[in-house]
Amino acid sequence: MDERPADRLAITVAQLNPIVGDVSGNLDRARAARAQAARDGADVIAFSELFIAGYPPEDLVLKPAFQAACRGAVETLARETGDGGPAVLIGTPWVEDGKLYNAYVLLHGGRIEATRFKVDLPNYGVFDEKRVFAPGPMPGPVAVKGIRLGIPICEDIWGSEVVECVAETGGEILLVPNGSPYWRGKSDDRLNIAVNRVVESGLPLVYINMVGGQDELVFDGVSFALNADRSIAFQLPAFHEAVLTTHWTRIDGVWRCAQGPIAAAAEPDQADYTACMIGLRDYVDKNRFRGVVLGLSGGVDSALCAALATDALGAARVRGVMLPFRYTSQQSLDDAGSIARALGVRYDTVPIESAVRGLETALAGVFAGAPRDVTEENLQARVRGTILMAISNKFGLMVVTTGNKSEMSVGYATLYGDMNGGFNPIKDLYKTEVYRLARLRNSWKPDAALGPDGPVIPENVLTRAPSAELRENQTDQDTLPPYDALDQILERLVEREEPLAAIVAAGFDRETVVKVERMLNLAEYKRRQAAPGVKVTLKNFGRDRRYPITSRFHDPGTALPEPDRALTKNSTLAKAGAADF
């Protein structure tokens, strides 16, 4: 490229929704965005982390055929930059000297001009990049129009070393490609980290993130730029694709971005609702389902899931089914019908009395002499699950599972019954949060929602006592502590990993805390078989919290003892680990 330094640079930021494994489709998305950048007079367009592959590719990236397809797409795009249009900075897997890297490549003038490799591979929470990638060497900047752009990739800015290297080797602008998934409060964390790197290096920073759902993860975008004085130059909207050309000028040796649009940050509950909606939409669409079907019980969980599905896909692609039994109240029947009418979705009623009776008759000989118990209750849930799966098979609709995080935590769900399904949009929402988002949806909906305006969940659904209605006069609180207390205890156990003693010291009833912790541990085998669902909290089940099913450890509920210093006084021995004893 031309190495004569310029004093102006137009950088197009591409905040897009790639699809994992859709290499040719992602290449076409990159072409379309580059064409727009060319019309805007851009010098270079920058995409998100691993854009060509989609993110996260997980073990797919280990397949030689996939590696070759990604490289072929990059080489094709490189040849196309011989047209004199904008240079391209794009993320891709890259094999070099027998090692696989998370790479970012500069394409210009018909060739691959430079490659840079991610140094700091995250290996916590939802990330396990050390499993598949090799860490790269410390990166120097790359030149575009003679301007030195430093490219720390995503996790590389969560510590100071990579940015320090870029600054020391002449970097002038930090350009950071990301595959940074959403969870509550994440955008504030990103901004704070970026500010720290700007302060330390004295360099402006462009943060490029992707959008869209990929299995349990949702990426919220919110790409932004910070000038060297830490002022925000632009911020793209959350959960929306956007291609923005930004204009940079060097004045007295310092680069500054011309003021661009600054999208307002979403309120936390609005962001959670939108993440659940986008996660469901992309899971259904990217996996090419015609639509979805779900059981409408008249309860708040299925009501919120129905609203999310309608907002995600439109009413024509959503089918609700009421599956009444002798314990189903008239109020539940009325409420389920009201929800379906308010959303405008198809609504069917399939009574399950004869199916349950048939199973009980078939089991009568085996169960002879045994008292009725939860087994017969679970038959109802399993009949409902079978009927929903039959509708799914017949019409090509994915079953939406409607269990919340409180239920998943303590096992208040039936395997092969109400846990049946392909995807659960509220899997990471506690029951109290389900109520909160249901109330929110009655007064607001996302800009990208396809459902109707106005209230869609009857007030009665939000005020009546929750019940599985598997026996007469049943309520959830027959089995569980009140949700206000339960959810606070669970949040401390799951998200914070607090010891029982600390939770009791915070004012919670000891017997209740011990009971909840025991239920949480026993339900691990159920959670391992649950449908995937959208991550919205710091620690979701599945990708984040990975506990053994077989385990005999239980927190004794006492304060931790002081460590025995006599056993650890030799610091070298203390660090050695059990393998050295």
- Active site (catalytic) residues: 49, 118, 154
Rounding to the nearest 10 degrees, give the CA dihedral for residues 374, 377, 383, 389: -70
DSSP 8-state class, residue 478: G
Give the other-Cβ count within 10 Å of 10's Cβ.
Answer: 18
Q: Which of 40, 42, 52, 27 is nearest to 87 (CA)?
A: 42
CA angle 415–467–327, rounded 5-degree value: 90
- How many Å apart are CA 542 and CA 521, to the nearest integer? 14
CA atoms within 13 A on the CB side of 206: 31
Which amino acid does the sequence have at 509? D
Tell me which residue has tokens 């599945």.
542
Measured in whole angstroms, the distance separating CA 259 from the mean position of its chain's CA atoms is 31
Q: In what order do the strands lie in the sheet with 397-399?
A: 346-349, 318-322, 291-295, 397-399
Q: Contact, 94 vs 66, CB < 8 A? A: no
CB atoms within 10 A of CB 511: 10
Q: Among 443, 374, 387, which Cα is nearest to 414's?
A: 374
CA Rg, the chain, in Å? 27
- Could you write out the DSSP letters of every residue in 196-254? HHHHHH---EEEE--EEEETTEEEEB--EEE-TTS-EEEEPPBTS-EEEEEEEEEETTE
- Strand locations in 73-172 (E): 87-96, 99-108, 111-117, 142-144, 147-150
Residues in contact with 530: Cβ distance below 8 Å, sequence separation at least 6, in sequence order: 401, 403, 408, 413, 419, 424, 427, 541, 542
In Å, the largest CA–CA distance within the chain is 91
- How many CB atoms sit inside 10 A of residue 128's CB? 16
Tokens of 411: 């096992």
DSSP string across 391-403: HHHHHTEEEBP--
